[in-house]
Structure 1
């Protein structure tokens, strides 16, 4: 994990580092690691764009699905 965090800290735009942090930073990993840009799947990124965070009047964020 420290190598993934270091890679992401050096270049936050490097998608494989972020994908590895998301993958291995959970209790139940799906095992899809990325060694370079070709291993990154665009479908996962499109799935994330279906949701957004909205904040209520108390400043609490809620994840909602876009229509």
Structure 2
């Protein structure tokens, strides 16, 4: 009796854990899609700032 109860608990625990992981992963994917454009914009602007900074620093302009 005790062993069958333990296995039932283990199964329900595994189910809830996998449900939780799916929920976290799903929200991560959703947020990732949402912020992908923003992230790309940030990367592009950072690259432009970096380039401008180096153009200003180097006397040859490049």
Give the TM-score category using the shorter length: under 0.3
- Which of the pair has more CA radius of gyration? 2
Select the structure that is richer in strand: 1
Higher RCO structure (Cα 8 Å, ≥6 apart): 1
